[in-house]
Amino acid sequence: MKTPQYRTAIIRKEHFNAAHRLHNAHWSDEKNKEVFGKCNNPHYHGHNYDLEVKIIGICNPETGYVMDTKVLSELIKTNILTPLDHKNLNLEVEDFKNLNPTVEHIAMVIYDRLRSHIDPALELKIKLYETERNYAEYPY
Amino acid sequence: MKTPQYRTAIIRKEHFNAAHRLHNAHWSDEKNKEVFGKCNNPHYHGHNYDLEVKIIGICNPETGYVMDTKVLSELIKTNILTPLDHKNLNLEVEDFKNLNPTVEHIAMVIYDRLRSHIDPALELKIKLYETERNYAEYPY
Amino acid sequence: MKTPQYRTAIIRKEHFNAAHRLHNAHWSDEKNKEVFGKCNNPHYHGHNYDLEVKIIGICNPETGYVMDTKVLSELIKTNILTPLDHKNLNLEVEDFKNLNPTVEHIAMVIYDRLRSHIDPALELKIKLYETERNYAEYPY
Amino acid sequence: MKTPQYRTAIIRKEHFNAAHRLHNAHWSDEKNKEVFGKCNNPHYHGHNYDLEVKIIGICNPETGYVMDTKVLSELIKTNILTPLDHKNLNLEVEDFKNLNPTVEHIAMVIYDRLRSHIDPALELKIKLYETERNYAEYPY
Amino acid sequence: MKTPQYRTAIIRKEHFNAAHRLHNAHWSDEKNKEVFGKCNNPHYHGHNYDLEVKIIGICNPETGYVMDTKVLSELIKTNILTPLDHKNLNLEVEDFKNLNPTVEHIAMVIYDRLRSHIDPALELKIKLYETERNYAEYPY
Amino acid sequence: MKTPQYRTAIIRKEHFNAAHRLHNAHWSDEKNKEVFGKCNNPHYHGHNYDLEVKIIGICNPETGYVMDTKVLSELIKTNILTPLDHKNLNLEVEDFKNLNPTVEHIAMVIYDRLRSHIDPALELKIKLYETERNYAEYPY
């Protein structure tokens, strides 16, 4: 094989389940209801979140790895699944105390939680499915 | 084609999102925690529920339908999706006031809610996915 | 391992694409429109059909096969995919000259086309997906 | 959370079913048959089209939305699903009167139909699955 | 809810990866090659096996469980995944020393390994995917 | 439709099954075991590899194709599936004689094997799934 001259991406999928509601505390109940509809239900609803963490960089020729996915999987378990899985995002996760837990914002939070644990030479991208039909990518 | 002499099944898939917690009110907090683990979280967690409703019977030779899936889809919307989607099953759905909302019990509730709306000559079966890896079938 | 005393099933998935319309030639245009809605469009619409053929019987201890799925795959190609794939079911497939091509009826036609090619000691069942959300099983 | 400094994408999936044939009216029947094979069948065939519409931009900090997917879903229903679902693309959809309805061209048509309805500050991308094994992305 | 009078099924999905070859030691190389084709490759090939374990019985009204899927998942890990995952089935798994590792036979082996660990009042069924297009069910 | 001014991508999915082990011949057995864990099993294990080949370029207005996916599918069969399917990558595929068959390296090998067969005006990208939860993209 010719020496690889391009960057390679490796992707690891994980999943977690959580409850949430969409709500902006600076708005009236009417405006919240109007903007967020049934997602504003004060008793919460929930989702199975499917998470894809992508790591981009030069493949190490000795291991054939961009990054060991076993190591990546452990980082995701410790920093994302343990604090978020089977939790109420609004009530139990500090990051959403003042941040509306839309799928876009949850993807950003996951990025921020993982970024410092990944080699700075590697690029990081998050894809998060809220349902089979709605998902977010951050950063794009 | 030879006259069809066997029964045929037609299946319609729908989905809804809900929050729940597993809890038996007759038990101590310790026993609930021991039996239901993180599913007992008092702040709730949630799921994307994927539902398959199966109708079994003799195919009508004039229409080629066991049952019109547009009609079936409307019945599911009215009797299942409207009352359950984006709801907290424990707090907002009467059927679970005294019934633990496990995937088995939710499948039974869906069966009971639909049975009277379906022609008694047709058999009804429910398959309910709580996650991609856990699901229930009722009746079996 | 103990001698297998139960029946085993082996399933092969294949797929084809076709155009069709739902229509009963003995009915008025109004009744066809009322019963079949947009599926009655005289210009046709189409689907990617996903087909599962299940063969049930005693596993041959010498081969470990209920039936060789390579053989089964060839039977499906010859008897189902060649005559149905990329075809207009109403105009080009003899079986639907007087039979409305609902997913239930197409499943029956596939059963009838395959049954004589399969060892009579083996049971045959058809599952046919018209879309991800609607499918039929025959016989049930 | 740090102020989000990157663009975010939000994706909505929808689907429709349609009939089509591949054909270039400026070519002979022989050349059409040679280039498009069984996709040139004059009686049409059909597909279940799975559509992903991606919107890319800066996430609104007040709502946590790049764009409200309920609004996006309505735009797709009005501009894409209503005119294309259960239709014969060659005969019933104006855009394909002089344009071969390959999956690449259908993706372009969907882009052109949606672009003017989306805030110009937001980037738009289309992914369209013709089958599970063939799909197009536009623009790339 | 009416007292549940029917049996309920609960299903848990797991997966493992393994190498194997199809081979009958009592046959000549020619016959093995003829019957098993490229699956007879003496250097082995491999699969991602997707496993569904179904437990059928009366739902316990106190827990709402037919069987706790956390307990079931642990039984599958200990008795199936640990001995089979990332293994060469022909060389490293005792059950296949004299048994051809077809998907039918692997499903039977999984059934026999789990049966004694499950309450005899509960029925057990195995579904095993060798690829997306071939799978087995045992017992049927 | 306005003249298409953007590049379009067309993607074709194929799959193959293979056995492999992760191993660096310049390392001690201990180091190999430590780095690659159960993937270092000397008896091999295996996977169902799902492959997506993406071709990017300007869509030909006469055909409506970026590239004919029937032609692309044949190129993949000849250059990738025939040499890799149902093979032991370490023992039977020349490209991996001195190259560890990680999913990243297999994606690079597939790129190198296809590149010369594709029009240089078209960009080529490979996505390769080793399992449902791990995959690689090359080049990124």
Residues whose CB falls within 8 Å of the CB of residue A99, separated by 6 or more in sequence, listed in order: A105, A109, D1, D64
**CA distance linking residue D85 with residue D18, whole number of Å:** 6
Phi, psi of A123, deg, nearest 5: -85, 150
Catalytic site includes residue E47? no
Q: Measured between beta carbons, which residues in chain F are less than 8 angstroms from residue E131? A: 15, 17, 48
- Encode burial over A41-79: b for 16+ CB neighbours within 10 A, e otherwise: beebbbbbbbbbbbbbbebeeebbbbbbbeebbebbeee
**CA distance linking residue C132 with residue C118, whole number of Å:** 28
By Cβ distance, the residue of B9, B10, B70 closest to C37 is B70
In angstroms, what separates the C-alpha of A62 from chain D's closest C-alpha? 33
Q: Is F38 exposed, middle or buried (0-12, 13-18, 19+ CB in 10 A)?
A: middle
In angstroms, what separates the C-alpha of E64 from chain F's closest C-alpha? 31
**CA distance linking residue F72 with residue F58, whole number of Å:** 16
Cα distances from D138 to residues B33, D108, D126, F10, F134, in angstroms, run 51, 6, 5, 9, 26
Written as one letter, the residue type at F133 is R
Written as one letter, the residue type at E10 is I
- D17:C86 CB<8 A: no
**CA distance linking residue F119 with residue F115, whole number of Å:** 8
Written as one letter, the residue type at D109 is V
- The interface residues of chain E toward chain C in range 70-99, judged by CB-CB distance below 8 A, are 95, 99
**CA distance linking residue D113 with residue C126, whole number of Å:** 40
* Whether B17 contacts chain A with CB within 8 A: yes
Tens-place pLDDT, residues C100-137:
999 999 999 999 999 999 999 999 999 999 999 999 99
Give the pLDDT score at D5: 74
* Whether A112 contacts chain D with CB within 8 A: yes
DSSP helix, strand, coil percent of chain E (3-state; round to 5): 35, 30, 35
Q: Which residue has the tokens 């002089």?
A: D98
Cα distances from C93 to residues C48, C80, C109, D28, F104, in angstroms, run 17, 11, 11, 26, 46
Give percent of chain C with pLDDT exceeding 90. Answer: 96
Q: Which residue has the tokens 């902006």?
A: A24
In angstroms, what separates the C-alpha of B112 from chain E's closest C-alpha? 7
Here the ipTM equals 0.94
Per-residue pLDDT band at A83 (split at 50, 70, 90): very high
- F136:A11 CB<8 A: yes
Tens-place pLDDT, residues F46-68:
999 999 999 999 999 999 999 99
Tokens of D125: 């991308």
In angstroms, what separates the C-alpha of F54 from chain E's closest C-alpha? 22
Give the pLDDT score at C76: 98
pTM of the model: 0.96
Domain D7-138 belongs in CATH node 3.30.479.10: yes
**CA distance linking residue C139 with residue C126, whole number of Å:** 7
Substitution target from B14, B20, B43 for chain A, most A beta carbons within 10 A:
B43
Query: Which residues of chain E, if any, have pLDDT below 70?
Result: 1-4
Q: Report CA Rg, chain D.
A: 17
- The interface residues of chain B toward chain C in range 36-65, judged by CB-CB distance below 8 A, are 54, 56, 59, 62-65
Name the residue among D104, D110, D101, D107 with its Cα closest to residue D45.
D101
Give the pLDDT score at B47: 97
* Whether A8 contacts chain F with CB within 8 A: yes
Name the residue among A103, D54, C11 with its Cα closest to residue E137.
C11
**CA distance linking residue C63 with residue D79, whole number of Å:** 56
Per-residue pLDDT band at A3 (split at 50, 70, 90): low
Phi, psi of F48, deg, nearest 5: -95, 110
By Cβ distance, the residue of A1, A56, A68 closest to F99 is A1
Subunits with 3+ C-beta pairs closer than 8 A to E: B, C, F
* Whether D107 contacts chain F with CB within 8 A: yes
Q: Are E24 and C63 within 8 A, CB to CB? A: yes
DSSP of chain B: -PPP-S-EEEEEEEEEEEEE----TTS-HHHHHHHHGGGG-TT-EEEEEEEEEEEEEPPBTTTTBSS-HHHHHHHHIIIIIHHHTTEEHHHH-GGGSSS---HHHHHHHHHHHHHTTS-TTSEEEEEEEEETTEEEEE--
Q: Measured between beta carbons, which residues in chain D are less than 8 angstroms from residue C43? A: 19, 87-88, 91-92
Per-residue pLDDT band at A5 (split at 50, 70, 90): confident
Q: Measured between beta carbons, which residues in chain D are less than 8 angstroms from residue A104? A: 8, 10, 59, 64-66
Residues whose CB falls within 8 Å of the CB of residue F83, separated by 6 or more in sequence, listed in order: F93, F113
Written as one letter, the residue type at A27 is W
Give the pLDDT score at D4: 55
Residue C115 CB neighbour total at 10 angstroms:
12
Tokens of A93: 């996760």
Q: Which chain A residue shows the shortest CA-CA distance from D2?
A: A112
Q: Is C29 exposed, middle or buried (0-12, 13-18, 19+ CB in 10 A)?
A: exposed
Strand partners, E125: E54
- A17:B86 CB<8 A: no
Residue E62 CB neighbour total at 10 angstroms:
11
Chains E and F lie in contact, requiring 3 or more CB pairs less than 8 Å apart:
yes
Q: Measured between beta carbons, which residues in chain A are less than 8 angstroms from residue F26? A: 62
Tens-place pLDDT, residues F2-40:
555 799 999 999 999 999 999 999 999 999 999 999 999
- E68:B35 CB<8 A: yes
Tokens of D97: 């009167």
Terminal-residue alpha carbon distance, chain F: 31
Query: Which residues of chain B, if any, have pLDDT below 70?
Result: 1-4
DSSP of F11-80: EEEEEEEEEE----TTS-HHHHHHHHGGGG-TT-EEEEEEEEEEEEEPPPTTT--SS-HHHHHHHHIIII
- A12:F133 CB<8 A: yes
- Is residue C52 scored above 90 in pLDDT? yes
- Is residue A2 scored above 80 in pLDDT? no
**CA distance linking residue B46 with residue B91, whole number of Å:** 13
In angstroms, what separates the C-alpha of F23 from chain D's closest C-alpha? 32
